[in-house]
Amino acid sequence: LMSTLKVNTIQNTSGGSSSTPEQIEQGRAKVWASVNGTGTPSFNDSFNCTSVVDENTGDYTINFSITMANANYSIVGMSENWEGTNTDSFTTISERKGHRAVGSFRFRCMRMRFDTGNIPQFQDSERMGIAVFGDV
């Protein structure tokens, strides 16, 4: 048996920090994932995700278990440094243009190594964090 609580305003016990249900709904992540992109990609943990697909080296698609209202949602993310012992090697993640839908998005992880002058290369990362904010 489930009950529904309907309120206009939510406050803390001292009567402050007021929020409407709409404000809470708009401010929370609708989808998030901690992704291990090495080997067969998998979720370390996730919310509202069904799968992570290995498209190529450093190239992934995350599929949602919910449908966003439109493709105008915001994605934020970060990736773990590829080399634990080299302070001049970093990774970054970026969305693939043209690969965003109401139920998924595709992104790539790129390794940049500044001490050798090497060109950036796509690389699998052991720990990538992604969060999606928007309307459902």
pLDDT digits (tens, 9 = 90+) for 113-126: 776 667 788 889 99
Provide the percentage of residues in the chain whose pLDDT is more than 90. 58
Instruction: Please state the rounded mean pLDDT for residues 88-102.
Output: 89
d(CA 95, CA 65): 19
Report which of residues 47 and 91 the model is more confident about: 47
Query: pLDDT tens for residues 17-70?
Result: 888 888 787 788 999 999 999 999 999 999 999 999 999 999 999 999 999 999
Instruction: Please state the rounded mean pLDDT for residues 6-15.
Output: 87
> Residue holding tokens 């966003």?
68
Contact, 26 vs 38, CB < 8 A? no
Contact, 86 vs 99, CB < 8 A? no
Helical H segments across the chain, by residue range: 21-27
Q: Say if pTM beats, i.e. exceeds, 0.85.
A: no
Number of neighbouring beta carbons within 10 Å of residue 112:
15
d(CA 72, CA 102): 9
Strand order of the β-sheet with 128-133 is: 42-47, 31-36, 128-133, 74-79
DSSP state of 94: E
Q: What is the pLDDT of residue 44?
A: 96
Report which of residues 51 and 15 the model is more confident about: 51
d(CA 119, CA 111): 9
d(CA 17, CA 11): 6
Q: Give the confidence band of 84 by pLDDT, cuts at 50, 70, 90.
A: low
